[in-house]
Amino acid sequence: MIFRARIKIKMEYPIRINKYLAQVGQATRRGADLLIERKKVLVNGRLAKLGDFVQRGDRVEIKEVKDEKKVELVYFAYHKPRGEETSQISVSRISPEKIFPIGRLDKDSSGLLILTNDGRITERLLGPDHKHEKEYLVEVDKPVNGFMLKRMELGVKIEGYKTKKCQVLKIGPRNFKIILTEGKKHQIRRMCAAVGLQVRNLRRIRIMNIKLEDLKPGAFCKIVGKEKDELLKSLKLPF
């Protein structure tokens, strides 16, 4: 199988070979490394090595792999409790596959994370150019007013960067929903600080079509059926 770097996926070249194969949908990064170690990947006719880079226009080829077990791609919704570090989630209790979280939530936040072994979705879900929705419930330290919320909707300056327009809906004296299409570090906390508010509680309740709903803190469920199909379709991946 041969894949050329001219496919219609936005990439910055040079790009590491494992990341390239993940972005063109041929393997996860871990899976790509395994293929390279087993001498199954060629770049311009030469056996690829771990850490190699692909240049624009390079010919990348994967040798046919016969009689080998295909790893099942799995997807889980997980409710990260407040106080748990994203990097310390015990994934072995969720799946025997080597799954990992897509993105993160800071220690003081809770809510929805997607866990998977499908490295293809990382850039397609988190990349700023894709504008996929993520929805949060926010509780702050003082009453909010329309002026504060409108400022956040239109974008506020955080350390020299102006946030993109978003949707904000007041649902209580000190509570609101916010829907973002970007994910700067501690973005909601910094946006609130820009209008004189401090976050007391922050919970992510939706990533694209995947909803937290009544999933309890620390619990998980497998994403399957139409829900999985819709997620992959939105990410322009086969399902």
Other beta carbons less than 10 A from residue 192's beta carbon = 24
Annotated catalytic residue 106: yes
pLDDT at 67: 47
pLDDT at 129: 77
Residues of the chain with confidence (pLDDT) below 70: 1-10, 64-69
pLDDT at 7: 45
Set 106, 108, 118, 129: catalytic member:
106
- Please tell me whether residues 111 and 221 are part of one structural domain: yes
- Number of domains forming the structure of the chain: 3
Residue 8 domain boundaries: 2-62
CATH of the domain at 118: 3.30.70.580
CATH of the domain at 151: 3.30.70.1560
Which of 101, 125, 122 has the alpha carbon at shortest distance from 113? 101
Residue 239 lies in a domain: no
CATH of the domain at 50: 3.10.290.10
- Please tell me whether residues 154 and 51 are part of one structural domain: no
Query: End-to-end distance of the chain based on CA atoms, in angstroms?
Result: 20
pLDDT at 2: 53
pLDDT at 5: 45
Q: What tokens were used for 203?
A: 């919970």
Residue 69 lies in a domain: no
Residue 95 lies in a domain: yes
**Residue tagged 């997607």 (tokens):** 114
Distance CA 118, CA 105 (A): 19
pLDDT at 180: 96
pLDDT at 9: 58
Predicted TM-score (pTM) of this structure: 0.74
